[in-house]
Amino acid sequence: MNIRVVVIDDEPLARLAVKARLARRSGFELVGEFGDGDSACEGIAALRPDLAFVDVEMPGRTGLEVLAALPPGQRPMAILLTAYDGFAVQAFDLAAIDYLLKPVDDERLDEALDRAQQAFPYRGPCRAAPPAAPVARTFSVRVGARTVLVPVAEVERIEADGDYATLHANGKTWLVRERLHNLAMQLDPRQFHRIHRSTIVRLDMIAELRALTNRDALLRLRDGSVLRASRTYMPALAEALQHLNKKTA
């Protein structure tokens, strides 16, 4: 199931840049683009997209006003675009899943799209379908001349280490020559979530979540580890944990 996307920005070149990057990613379908807030409100109501790239500052109705005008049940996931960094509080009050400063670089946009794919299965009752892409069951790890297969079901968390990533599984650590972004694409978003740009955690390993004043959070895992969750990942993480709690209740 593709994620249906609209792009809202009063600058045609900015819309073109986002569309060109979207075209390089599978799992996303562009269904509309709008150059002002009024047409965006009408378009979102008509198209019911899953995800909107929203320019914060536009003539007339701003991007934040567009989102605020929509009932929460009709509000798409939002990735905010802006040249300024003073809108974070409003952004997260509207449950935006990311907040990108212009000019947006490819790595940050890829992270935002990853986050949208993670949040997508939890967007209402019709979004509980399995992920479209096949998910990995094992990770192949080179240890000297040997290849060790580490079951994904045993992985508790994954941490970035430059071009490598460290798997934590059953009290052992394994170094994988693959970037965290690539590993995230191989995991089931109903079981694993990115909590920081450098950390992925298995949801059922989270024992406690404590909110911090800056909208970050501290997570305590079942093995006693304490990790920090970045505020940009918190809306999708909270939604995923809610969904997990409903399943186990």
Q: Clarify whether residues 168 and 239 are in a common domain.
A: yes
Q: Would you give the DSSP letter of residue 76?
A: P
**Assigned domain for 132 exists:** no
Query: Does residue 133 sit within a domain?
Result: no
Do 220 and 243 belong to one domain?
A: yes
pLDDT for 247:
67
Domain final residue, candidates 101, 127, 153: 127
C-alpha to C-alpha distance for 175 and 233, rounded to whole angstroms = 24
Whether residue 64 lies inside any domain: the answer is: yes
Give the confidence band of 174 by pLDDT, cuts at 50, 70, 90. very high
Side chain identity at residue 87, one-letter code: F
Structure tokens at 102: 């212009």
What is residue 82's predicted lDDT score, i.e. its pLDDT? 82
110, 156: one domain = no
Q: Are residues 147 and 86 in the same domain?
A: no
- The predicted model scores a pTM of 0.59
What percent of the chain is predicted at pLDDT more than 90? 43
Kindly state the average pLDDT of the residues 135-151. Answer: 89
**Contact criterion met (CB below 8 Å) for 235 and 92:** yes
Is 90 exceeded by the pLDDT of residue 232?
no
Residue 26, class by beta-carbon neighbours within 10 Å (0-12 exposed, 13-18 middle, 19+ buried)? exposed
101 and 161, same domain (yes or no)? no
- Average pLDDT in the chain: 85
| Statement to judge: residues 82 and 154 lie in one domain | no
- Cα distances from 56 to residues 18, 50, 127, in angstroms, run 15, 18, 27
Residue 91 has pLDDT above 60, yes or no: no
Lowest pLDDT segment from 42-51, 82-91, 109-118: 82-91
- pLDDT above 90 for 133: no
Domain boundary among 93, 127, 161: 127
Token representation of residue 167: 């798997």
When pLDDT is cut at 50, 70 and 90, the band that residue 218 belongs to is: very high
Give the CATH number for residue 142. 2.40.50.1020
Note whether 142 and 103 are same-domain residues.
no
Over residues 27-37, the mean pLDDT reads: 94
Domain that holds residue 223: 138-248
22-29: long-range contacts, CB 8 A cutoff, minimum separation 24: 22/113, 25/110, 25/113, 26/133, 27/2, 27/3, 27/117, 27/132, 27/133, 28/2, 28/3, 28/113, 29/2, 29/3, 29/4, 29/5
Please state, as a whole number, how many other Cβ atoms lie within 10 Å of the Cβ of residue 125.
Answer: 5
101 and 162 belong to one structural domain: no
What would the mean pLDDT of 41-57 be, rounded to a whole number?
Answer: 92
In degrees and rounded to multiples of 5, residue 70 shows phi and psi of -90, 140
Q: How many domains does the chain have?
A: 2
In a domain, 97, yes or no: yes
Q: Which residues contact 135 (CB under 8 A, 6 or more apart)?
A: 152, 186, 187, 188
Last residue of a domain, one of 74, 99, 127: 127
28 and 81, same structural domain? yes
Greater confidence, 218 or 197? 218
* Residue 145 and residue 241 share a domain: yes
Asked whether residue 235 carries a pLDDT value surpassing 80, the answer given is: no
Q: Note whether 148 and 244 are same-domain residues.
A: yes
Give yes or no for residue 125 having a pLDDT over 50: no
- The residues near 114 (Cβ < 8 Å, ≥ 6 apart) are 181, 184, 185, 194
State the pLDDT at residue 10. Answer: 94
